[in-house]
Amino acid sequence: MEDGIGVGSRRSRRQRSLRLEAAWATHMGRVREVNQDDSGITDEVFVVADGMGGHRGGEVASAVAVETMLESFVGPDRTSLVRAVRDANRAVLERAAGDTDLTGMGTTLCALAIVDGPGGQGGDEVLAVANIGDSRVYRYDIDGLVQVTDDHSLVADLVRAGELTEEEAKVHPQRNILTRALGIEADPIIDSWELQPARNDRYLLCSDGLFNELDDGRIVELVDAGSVAEAANSLVSEAVAAGGHDNVTVLVVEVVDGPERSSGSRLPIGRARPERSRGHVQDLNPGDETGMMFRTVMASIAVLLAAFVLVAGVWARQGWFIGSDDGDVAIFRGRPVGILWFDPIFVEGGDLRVSLLDDSTRAAVEQTIDVGTLDEARHYIERFRADVNDR
């Protein structure tokens, strides 16, 4: 992508329930000699990619991925966004195969799109998010900033396993090692979400050059300051001023017209749906999702991973979540996708059908809702039941 700070904005022309406004900015930073990040905007889809690979590799990978996403995404739903990410993966692989200078190139990619809601057929529109790698999507609303995506990196795995703190991860020498990226394997696991939009919410898509320089507190202050163009511009300028060790790219999207947020409660963000092209992935085995490009590096830290497997068994059983058990709202112990061979355990449920819930709650339950305790889970379900009875 071109040097320097560029700002462009786009107002969605789609004359339906949702209207978004977006702006992007990018900078090479103060250390790198080329900007391997890329971003793209159409009326309905917004993309950020962070390329890697020697020669021109990284630059080409992110550009090919973004271009393919913009062309390929035609809607109408979350699945079609994931399909566009797969098209981008194929395009990067094909481009690399045709040029030895580009061998081994890869890229992260995160995307946000307007799609039809769970009802489909032009029902209420929602936002779909897709992610692979360590670029991030955040939501900023009246309750603050929340990271929607999970990073697919070694340090993020270790943080999730309780092996590293967030602070340790930020300065970890191996923080650049990705566990997933585009351009590495034929059928990568892509995470995706469906989110309920609310007027005035802002979404931030960014490469790691942003959050490795600025802490969450500063990001919050800047993401909400002025227009989306001003926010994008100042986030990038500050990340460069704070060190600029990496390329930095930011895309800020605001819901300028859409549903009012209902009744003060925060809209839940479900767990990711990790999928390969054949469907939902139940067992995320780190060995499967590791591309060839990273294999040798991963082998050298096998000891670390062994420690991760040991703690994963404990960790996998620790959480609670609400999900669907054969069409019933149910409480589970563990993590929705299971960690390695540790599958979630059904705890209770069976007296409330998922089909009775309103659209947004049903979508959240189907994606699963993380909760801290069993009591909290029961409290949620009581509220769902009360809502059903009120209608």
Residue selected from 21, 44, 50, 151 as contacting Mn ion according to rule CB under 5 A: 50
Q: Which stretch binds Mn ion (CB under 5 A): 20-28, 44-52, 145-153, 263-271?
A: 44-52
Nearest distance in Å: CB 265, Mn ion: 35
Smaller CB separation from Mn ion, 12 or 212? 212
Nearest distance in Å: CB 209, Mn ion: 5
Smaller CB separation from Mn ion, 126 or 206? 206
Smaller CB separation from Mn ion, 107 or 196? 107
139-178: which residues touch Mn ion (CB under 5 A)? Answer: none
Nearest distance in Å: CB 212, Mn ion: 8
233-272: which residues touch Mn ion (CB under 5 A)? Answer: 246
Nearest distance in Å: CB 205, Mn ion: 13
192-221: which residues touch Mn ion (CB under 5 A)? Answer: 207-209
Nearest distance in Å: CB 107, Mn ion: 10
Q: Which stretch binds Mn ion (CB under 5 A): 43-51, 58-66, 116-124, 284-292?
A: 43-51
Smaller CB separation from Mn ion, 249 or 360? 249
Nearest distance in Å: CB 248, Mn ion: 8
CA distance 316 to 319: 7
Smaller CB separation from Mn ion, 89 or 108? 108
Nearest distance in Å: CB 139, Mn ion: 21
Position 289 contacts Mn ion (CB under 5 A):
no
Smaller CB separation from Mn ion, 31 or 186? 31
Nearest distance in Å: CB 117, Mn ion: 33
Over the chain, what HEC string results?
CCCCCCCEEEECCCCCCCEEEEEEEEECCCCCCCCCEEEEECCCEEEEEEEECCCCHHHHHHHHHHHHHHHHCCCCCHHHHHHHHHHHHHHHHHHHHCCHHHCCCEECEEEEEEEECCCCCCCCEEEEEEEECCCEEEEEECCEEEECCCCCEHHHHHHHCCCCCHHHHHHCCCCCCECCCECCCCCCCEEEEEECCCCCCEEEEECHHHHCCCCHHHHHHHHCCCCHHHHHHHHHHHHHHCCCCCCEEEEEEEEEECCCCCCCCCCCCCCCEEEECCEECCCECHHHHCCHHHHHHHHHCHHHHHHHHHHHHHHHCCCEEEEEECCEEEEEECCCCCECCECCEEEEEEEEEHHHCCHHHHHHHHHCEEECCHHHHHHHHHHHHHHHHHC
Q: Which stretch binds Mn ion (CB under 5 A): 49-57, 185-193, 237-245, 319-327?
A: 49-57
CA distance 80 to 243: 38
295-334: which residues touch Mn ion (CB under 5 A)? Answer: none
366-385: which residues touch Mn ion (CB under 5 A)? Answer: none
Nearest distance in Å: CB 249, Mn ion: 8
Nearest distance in Å: CB 58, Mn ion: 9
Q: How many residues bind Mn ion (CB under 5 A)?
A: 5
CA distances for 390 relative to 220, 249, 356, angstroms = 37, 46, 12
Smaller CB separation from Mn ion, 50 or 201? 50
Handedness of CA 277, 278, 280, 285 (dihedral sign): negative
Contact 127, 197 (CB under 8 A): yes
Smaller CB separation from Mn ion, 19 or 175? 175
Smaller CB separation from Mn ion, 61 or 357? 61
Residue 345's beta-bridge partner residues?
333
CA distance 210 to 21: 21
Smaller CB separation from Mn ion, 50 or 185? 50
Q: Which residues bind Mn ion (CB under 5 A)?
A: 50, 207-209, 246
